[in-house]
Structures are given as C-alpha cells and as structure tokens.
Amino acid sequence: MKKVDRSARRAITASVAAVAAAASLAACGSSNNSAPAGGAGAALVVGITADPTQMVPWTSTSVQSQEVLSQIYTTLLSTDADGTPTAGIADMPQVSKDGKTYTFTLKQGLKFADGSTLDSADVKYTFGKIMDPASKASSASYFASVASIDAPDPQTVVVHMKQPDASFPAGLTYPNTGIVPSGATADTLATKPDGAGPYQFESRVPNESITLKRNDSYYAGKPGAAKLEFRIIPDEQSIVAALKTGSVQVAEFDNPVTAKTATSANVKSTPVNSLWYHVLQLRATSPVLSNVNARLAIQCAISRQDVVSSAALGAGTPTGPITSPQYRSDPNAQPCPNQDLAKAKAYLAKAGEPNGFTLNLMTSQGLYSSAVDEAQNIQAQLAKVGIKVNVQSLDSNTYVQKWLAGDFDAAIAANSGSADPNTMYARYFTSTGSFNKVAGYKSPILDKLFAQGIATTDVAQRATIYQQISAQLVDNAAWVWLYTPKKFLVANTAVKGLEARTDADLSMLWKASLS
Amino acid sequence: MKLASAFGRHPVTRRIGEAIVTLVGVSILTFVLLRVVPGNQVTASYGIAAGELSPAQVHSLEAYYGLDKPLVVQYFDWLGGVLTGHLGVSTTSHLSVLSMTRQALPNTIELALLGILVGLLLGVPGGLLAASRPGRLRDSSTQMVSLVALSIPSFLLATAVASWLANNLGWYPNGKGFRTLFDDPGLNLQQMLLPAVVLGVSVAPPVLQTTRAAILAIRAEDFVRTARAKGVSGRRLEVRHILRNALIPVVTMSGLQLGFLLGGALVVEQIFAIPGIGRQVLLGLNQKEYAVVQSTVLVIAAMFVLINLLTDLVYRVVDPRVRVR
C-alpha cells in the first residue's frame, strides 16, 4: 500500500509540475510582448465581438460591419463629434430655394486606394446602385425623396428631389452610403473591397480578423497607423483580458461593469453619449392599449431613472423621443416626467380599468445585455398600480420576426437614433412609414408635422416643428421612452489621438496612432 | 431496426448499417429543427431593415438563399451535394463549408486531445490517490475536490482563470489572434493551454471516479490474490497487475469524452476565441446559414459514429468475449 501512495503522490506532483512548467515557460515567452510595441510599423488592434459579415457598403447593417467599412470607404459627408453632418469629400451642399435641388462640390484630387480618381461619376454610380431595387440596399430609404442625380462636371454632383427633404444630408454620412468606384458590383466588393477611406483592405480570416493597411492617398491626412486590425474575440471578458495584456488596444463596451474591469494604469475607459434610445414600445392598435389613458397610466407608473439605475447599471440618462443633438426633446416635457402613481391610477380609472389590466411584454436576451432586466424592472414598477405584466423573453430571431409583423402588445427595444429626427421617426409614425404597423400609432397631425419638418432646411424652424412632434408622441403616450445609454470607449494609453465620439463611432479612428 | 437488418446478419456490416441509419436520422433532425425555429437568412442578415424590403426584394433574396423551394427539394438538394462531396457554401463568408471545416476541425481535434490529456493527468493520479485509502480522509477529500471540479460551469472557470492571469501575470495569449499549430507552434500551445485546462477540469472527475472504482474492483479479484500469494512485490503488483487492468475502462471513458469534446467544446472555443467546429455551428445558427449548420453537424455526428464504430471493432479484436455475442 505504501508504495502505491508514493507512486500516486509522485504522479500528482509530476503532473502539477508539468502544467506549472508549461505555464511559466509560456509566460516567459510572452512577457516581452505584453506592452504594445510602438513605432511606425506597429498595427493598431481593435477588438470586436462578431465577424463583420457584410463587406458590401450598401447592404451592411451590423455595427461591426459598419465600423470596418467606415475605415475602407468614405462617405460624401462627414460628421462632427456629435454626429451632425459636416463637409466630407464634398462640401456641405448648396440647397435651392424650393429645397428640391442639392448641389455638392467634391474636393480636388480625390483618389481611391487603388490609385484611380474619385469623381462625380463614381458618386452618381454609387447612389444609383443604392436606389436600384435589385441591390436590396439597406440605405435605400435615405434616397426615398430623390428623383435623379446628375454629374455635370467631375467635381459637381446635383441631386434633384421629388419633394424637399431636409433629412437627406444625414443619410449621406452613414457607412452604408460609402462611395465605390464606377462599375463595382456586390460580387466584386464582397471579396475585394475598394474605397477611398483612410485604410485599405489587406487580408481577412473569417471569424478571426480583418487586416487593413494605410491608404497613403487619403484626402484628409496621413492615417496614424501603418496597419489596422479588427480582431474578432466573441467574449467581452476575453477582450478585457486582451486589453489588459496589451494585445488589443481599442474596444467599445455597452456594459459599464465590463468597461470598469478593463481599466487599469495602462487602459482608460471614456464614457460617450449615444443617439440610441431604449424604449417601451406600445402598440396603440392592439385592443389592450387602444385607450390613450391606459397608455398614459403606464407612462406615469414608470420611473425612467429607476430603469437606468437598476437595469442599466447607471449607464444612461432618461430621455424623450428625439436624441438628435440639434433637436433633442426636453426629457421632462411629458405628462409624467417623474413616477406619479396617483396620476397613473387616475388615468387607469379614466380608461375604465381602475384595477389595472394585463399586458404582454416581449423582450429578448439576444438583443442587448440589459433587455430582460429592463422588462423585469418595468414589470415590477407597473405592478404597483395593478398592471400585471407578462414578460415574454424570446430568442432574438423570434423577437425580430414578431416585431416586424407587429405581432405584440408591448416590446422592450433599443433603437438607433440619428442626427436627423426625421430619419429617426418618419418610418415609425407617419401613416406611410415602413414601420408604422410596428409602431402602432399614427395621426393626421403627425403626418402634417412630419411633412413640414422636411420641407425646410432652417434648423430653428425645424426645431419648433420637432418639438411639437415630440409633444404629440409623449402626450399620447405612443410609446414610453426610457433612456439614452452611455457607451464606453476603452483604449490603451499608448493610443494617441483617439476621438471619443457619440456612439463610440470609429469614423475618425484614422487620427489615432500608437506611441 | 428493420432497415439495419437489411444490411445482413454479420455483426460488422450490421454495425455499419446502423451507423448510416443514425447519420440519416441526424441529418433529417437537424434539417427540421433549423426550420422550425422562426426567422430565416433574410431576417438574420438584414435584421429589422428586412421590414423596409419590398415583397419582390424579399422574394428574390429567398430565391438567392434557396428558401423558395419546397422543403423536400431543399433537403435532397443538400443531401445530393453532400454525397457528391459538396457540403454547401456559406453565403456570408463566400467560403465552402468543406474549406471552413478543413480549417476549424484540426483546431477542435487538437483542443479535444489536449483537454483529454489534462483530464487524464489530473484524473488518473487523483483516482490512485483516492483508491489508496478507500473511505478515509484522503479518499473523501479527493472525491470532494472532484465533485467541486465537476460542478463549476466551464464558462465561469474560463472567465475567472483568464481574468486572473491577465490581471496578475499580464499573460493572456488568446488575445493575440489565433495561430495554428503549424503557423506558430509556440504561441498555439500557449493559446491552447488555458482552454485545455478548463476542459481537462471537466473531464478529470469522471476519469477519477472510473479509475478509483476500477482499482478497487480489480484489487479484490482472484488473480490479484494469486499474484500476491506467488510473491509479486507490492509495487510490481500495483502497477503491472492492478493499474494496467484498471486503465481499460479509463481508456473507454476517455474515448467517449473525446467524442463529446469534438462536438461540444463550444463554450470554451467561444470564450478563448479558438476558431473551432463548435463556433462554426454557432455562427451558422446565428446567421441562419442552413447549409453550414447541417453539414457541420453531420461532420460532427459522423466523427462520433466513426469513433464508436472503431471502438466496437477494436473491442472485437482485443476482447474475444465480445465476439461471442
């Protein structure tokens, strides 16, 4: 027996030693690599959680695809740090008095990364491709008001509109309107991306990484890194570990706790604002919510701050409908800016449901990390006034399917915002909007106001119109707007010149370099 | 099993027949399950933007993805492809499933083998330790540790180990971008170490239990007593007569675990960014790439069936008692 003891013990010691030796060997081998190597040849590495599967600008929808594509392609217009349109490869357009002709002047000497010239013909070709139904472009809706496009000379693009549409320039800033060379097709671009952005495509390993190299002919200046790699690491904690060991230098997180665990002496986290908004979507067309007082009761029973503090872990601020910086809704301009249970009960009585009612609320864990927590928080808050909420937590594909079909009473959603309020809401709340069935609310007043909102390009005039639209939406509790989130841009301190922009947008990543 | 009996009376051809029936069953089940779940490739790739497509655009996309044909036709189109060596093409990465699998499978096999190795290195000595004093403190404490190891979810262990090493030692090779064993053996083995340890921790407890039980059972066998009576020394008795015999069930158990790891190391592959076969299935599921999921699941099932078949055949060779049945 004793002999076995010894051999058993020896076996254990040996195996532990082997593992430990392997670990320490490995640790030695890598210790000199743990800080990012600086210098001109170094690659800047951005950690992302999913493969940017769509490489054709106009069909791209995923956030990751747009992050990568915004490095490879340039859009006609650029944005400032808040997301408001500014001059890009073209100056801000001259708009005719009737608002129906937009004239863009391109900068001189623009080149694609392959060396060919970028002129008005390429812009016309790209926009034509987007408007062609056969392209099935996700950006086609930005061109809904466009009648035709001319390229009278190499530097000039003239867009003729069917009717005035002040929201048109905002669409020209999105990566899915990036300019491609004349003749490029979805098939050629999917395998060989070709744009005039700060970096050009070099190589790609599906589900592992995409590597780009500096485009020396970029119009706005010399991009800061010789190489830029987007590395796909599906697990956020794994990205955190990679940030801490210096093998990844830039990442963005939604979850404040994840961002906090990533910070250290060498890694800094910067909170940035977002145009996105989290909302309790109500469908006024469903029988249980058809009475405006029932919807107002829900608005009054919910403390938005409570949703932010508990479900969103404090990373957000209560918001009204519009998050566009120039047109932002006053978050307190609504019937119940704060939770008011007495008022909620009064609305319930007016709705003929003094003891409350039952509401089905759909959500999905697959949408974003706090979606189910938000639903449960709202469930608890509404229970205080007798509204019984059944939370249905669905798989994300099922959720999207039911959402598109308008097959729900209420839903938790996080929707993207825009620098232009018309882009944000016309598709939901005009009677002809593509998502009006999903939104479940329309009115002749809203139709009229939305039409007025795009008829003029005067910002002050538009601001008053969107204030009225905002009031219409909250006074009728079309939906209950909850909060606009904070995002976190996390970067190694060796990265210089990284701009913290709204939505952690990486379109100015080219200014960043490794010191 | 009427169909299986058609393959003949001989046990070997019957086993092969059963294996084929199993694979057909798996392929049909995968095909049906994928289509029962709501959503298709159009909604998966466009998300809510699918709501802005016109019916004609949706229809042409469905035709492009091959979703407009009747289900039976879709199934036999795919099966016909598989039988002629075309596992289908991923419409998002524009790669054939065959080439994707050729890249992913070796990584998964390497990871599974290393996981089993770590499991054996932890489990066998643990079993020896436990069996050395059955029922005493050493036994119960070893079993306690093994129970804890079995209960820790691998995602938790993986995240905890990764964070701890990154924070305290500044070491996390998996953030550097994956390298295969042939590209960069040094970095590859570093990247495989953590996931292999995490998998090994979940493989070790069953190995430990099997080792312990087998040793105790064999120690009570007549031939052991005979050997001892003949004067075989303690050390030689334990190693040559007891341990060697006890390892037979351990090897069987490891083979079974290997089969599971080849298809089921998904969580660990995901956390440690190992581009293996489990991630290939998951990505296929997320993007609703039916061909990717169907073909990859079929490959996994085929490996599982093949390993089982080989085990059976090898048993027939090494253990004459099986042949009698």
Contacts of B146 in chain A (CB under 8 A): none
Structural domains of chain A sorted by starting position, each given as residue range(s) with its CATH number in brackets: 3-49+198-273+487-514 (3.40.190.10), 74-187 (3.90.76.10), 277-485 (3.10.105.10)
- The residue to which tokens 């019937």 are assigned: A335
pLDDT of residue A143: 95
For the cut 90, the answer to whether the pLDDT of residue B46 exceeds it is no
Q: What is the DSSP string of B25-74?
A: HHHHHHHHHHHHSS--HHHHHHGGGGGGS-HHHHHHHHHHTT-SS-HHHH
pLDDT of residue B318: 66
Among A280, A271, A275, residue whose Cα is nearest residue A322: A275
For the cut 70, the answer to whether the pLDDT of residue B319 exceeds it is no
Query: What is the spatial distance between Cα A278 and Cα B160, in angstroms, rounded to a whole number?
Result: 31
Nearest CA in chain B to A3: B235
Lowest mean pLDDT among A99-113, B161-175, B244-258: B244-258
Can you tell me whether residue B232 is helix, strand or coil? coil
Inter-chain touch B56–A133, beta carbons under 8 Å: yes
Rounded to the nearest angstrom, the minimum Cα separation between A384 and chain B is 33
Rounded to the nearest angstrom, the minimum Cα separation between A436 and chain B is 10
User: How do strand A146-153 and strand A156-161 relate by DSSP bridges?
Assistant: antiparallel
Rounded to the nearest angstrom, the minimum Cα separation between A364 and chain B is 14
pLDDT of residue A28: 39
Q: How far is CA B289 from CA A111, A485, A510, B96, B280, in A?
A: 37, 32, 34, 12, 10
Nearest CA in chain B to A367: B47
Nearest CB among A23, A242, A435 relative to B172 is that of A242
pLDDT of residue A26: 41
Query: What is the spatial distance between Cα A211 and Cα A229, in angstroms, rounded to a whole number?
Result: 4
pLDDT of residue B50: 86
Phi, psi values for residue B25, rounded to 5°: -60, -45
Nearest CB among A34, A238, A400 relative to B174 is that of A238
Inter-chain touch A238–B128, beta carbons under 8 Å: no
Q: How many residues does chain A have?
A: 515
| pLDDT, chain B, mean | 87
For the cut 90, the answer to whether the pLDDT of residue B67 exceeds it is no
Task: For CA atoms B207, B212, B218, B219, give the dihedral sign.
Answer: positive
pLDDT of residue B321: 65
Query: What is the spatial distance between Cα B22 and Cα B14, in angstroms, rounded to a whole number?
Result: 12
For the cut 90, the answer to whether the pLDDT of residue B91 exceeds it is no
Inter-chain touch A31–B39, beta carbons under 8 Å: no
Kindly state the tokens that stand for A428. 């939901």
Query: What is the spatial distance between Cα A262 and Cα A243, in angstroms, rounded to a whole number?
Result: 7
- The residue to which tokens 């592959």 are assigned: B269
For the cut 70, the answer to whether the pLDDT of residue B298 exceeds it is yes
Lowest mean pLDDT among A21-35, A382-396, B97-111, B207-221: A21-35
Query: What is the spatial distance between Cα A473 and Cα A168, in angstroms, rounded to a whole number?
Result: 23
Inter-chain touch B238–A7, beta carbons under 8 Å: yes
Q: What is the pLDDT along chain A (515 residues), one digit of tens a residue?
A: 333 344 444 444 444 444 443 444 344 333 333 344 444 457 999 999 988 878 899 988 888 999 999 999 999 999 999 889 999 999 999 999 999 999 999 999 999 999 999 999 999 999 999 999 999 998 999 999 999 999 999 999 999 999 999 999 999 999 999 999 999 999 899 888 999 999 999 999 888 999 999 999 999 999 999 999 999 999 999 999 999 999 999 999 999 999 999 999 999 999 999 999 999 999 999 999 999 999 999 999 999 999 999 999 999 999 999 999 999 999 999 999 999 999 999 999 999 999 999 999 999 988 888 899 999 999 999 999 999 999 999 988 889 889 999 999 999 999 999 999 999 999 999 999 999 999 999 999 999 999 999 999 999 999 999 999 999 999 999 999 999 999 999 999 999 999 999 988 999 999 999 98
| Cβ atoms A195, A179 nearer than 8 A | yes
- The residue to which tokens 């054709």 are assigned: A56
pLDDT of residue B65: 87
Please, which residues bridge with residue A98 across strands?
none
Inter-chain touch A27–B56, beta carbons under 8 Å: no
pLDDT of residue B93: 79
Rounded to the nearest angstrom, the minimum Cα separation between B319 and chain A is 28
